[in-house]
A and B are shown apart, each in its own frame.
Chain A
Amino acid sequence: MNGYVEAGYLAVLGVLAGYSALLLGRSRKMKKALLPLKVKEKRSEPRPTE
């Protein structure tokens, strides 16, 4: 081909891949920030009273 065609396709695929990666990264970061913490419910034994 003539170089221009390849450049056009590369530009489209490159920009879309870059923006997709950015979206995925931001989404992962936000999910981590908002994920409710899992707290293990472990009841402590009552202290023996003297």
Chain B
Amino acid sequence: MESKGYRWSRRAVGFVALLLVAATVVLGLWITPPDIVQGQLVRLIYVHPPVAWVAYLAYGVTSIGSVLYLWKRTRNLKWDLLAASSAEVGVIFTGLTLITGSIWGRPAWGVWWTWDARLTTTALLFVLYLGYLALRRVPADSHQRAVRSAIAGLIAFIDVPIVHQSVVWWRTLHQSATVLNATLSPKIHGEMAMTLLLGFIAFTFVYVWMLMHRYQIADMEQSVLDIELEQLIEERQREPESYSDQAVLTQDVDQIDQPSKV
């Protein structure tokens, strides 16, 4: 069960996240000025890149958890649970990246969706991690599931740098990076830059809060599985007679199957 300290720290993270998201929304919608080129549409910059960043972060944590599980020295089921929890939160944020990108694309490009390199690689990322979550549902014992998932998680992560670099490697409709570009010279300044930074911090706090909750649920689900397994073993041990009867019966059947020696 969770400790008191963990519960309090989670509540504190949740409270800070709520405050920061509220501040981002107020600043993003009403305080910051409209852009010369994009007009009011630029306000989407305070939510779209931050949710995309959180998706990268979440998959990064999944990869670290996967490596720590695969490495025999640090092998512990908690790393697998952390990786899975982070991947689920990452899928939510990738979905949001696609939704907000589509909403931005309609007035900016005239289409809800186009098979542009950035959009396509992001959609692929979404599908890859959905596949990761689906793989975890395939019946297997905890260790087998953890190994399979760790390998799948690491393979899926290859797409993250491809998504980020897609606007550099291919000619795309999507604009290049506003902050984390090749020359590390942000194309945004003043209160707009501050609000964008606040957005990054706010959604990172939201991610941490969600991860803490999801990890705790995963931990409890694992405890339930362990309890169920113990109960099954106990039940089997309580019925020795019926098993010995079954063994005798199997032996009899074997004897029937064998050809009689004359």
Q: How far is the CB of B149 from chain A (nearest CB, A)?
A: 20
Residues of B within 8 A of A30 (CB): 217, 220-221, 224
The verdict on B179 contacting chain A, using a C-beta distance below 8 Å, is no
Cβ contacts B206-227/A at 8 Å (1 or 0 each): 1001100110110011011000
Are A34 and B213 in contact, with the CB atoms below 8 A?
A: no
A-B contact count (CB 8 A): 76
Is B167 in the interface zone, CB < 8 Å from A?
A: no
**Nearest A-chain residue to B92, judged by Cβ:** A19
Dominant secondary structure of chain A at its interface with chain B: helix
Taken residue by residue from 38 to 59, chain B's Cβ proximity to chain A (1 for < 8 Å, 0 otherwise) reads as 0111011001100100000000
Q: Are A33 and B224 in contact (CB under 8 A)?
A: yes
Stretch at the interface among B97-105, B117-125, B151-159, B243-251: B97-105
B95 at the binding interface (Cβ < 8 Å): yes
Given A9-B29, A11-B99, residue A16 in contact with residue B206 (CB < 8 A):
yes
The answer to whether A49 has its CB under 8 Å from any CB of chain B is: no
Given known contacts A8-B104, A12-B96, A19 and B25 CB-to-CB distance under 8 angstroms: no
Query: What residues on B are CB-neighbors of A11 within 8 Å?
Result: 96, 99-100, 103
Q: Are A1 and B210 CB-contacts (below 8 A) given A8-B48, A26-B217, A34-B220? A: no
Q: Are B217 and A5 in contact (CB-based, < 8 A)? A: no
| A9 and B28 contact, Cβ closer than 8 Å, known pairs A4-B44, A15-B92 | yes
Set of chain B residues within 8 Å of A33, measured between Cβ atoms: 220, 224
User: Given the complex, which residues of B lie within 8 Å of A23, measured CB to CB?
Assistant: 210, 213-214, 217
Check B103–A7 contact: CB distance below 8 A: yes
Whether A15 contacts B41 by the Cβ 8 Å rule is no
Q: Is B106 located at the chain interface by the 8 A CB criterion? A: yes
Query: Which 5 residue pairs across A and B have the least CB separation, nearest first?
Result: A30-B220, A23-B213, A8-B103, A1-B40, A5-B43
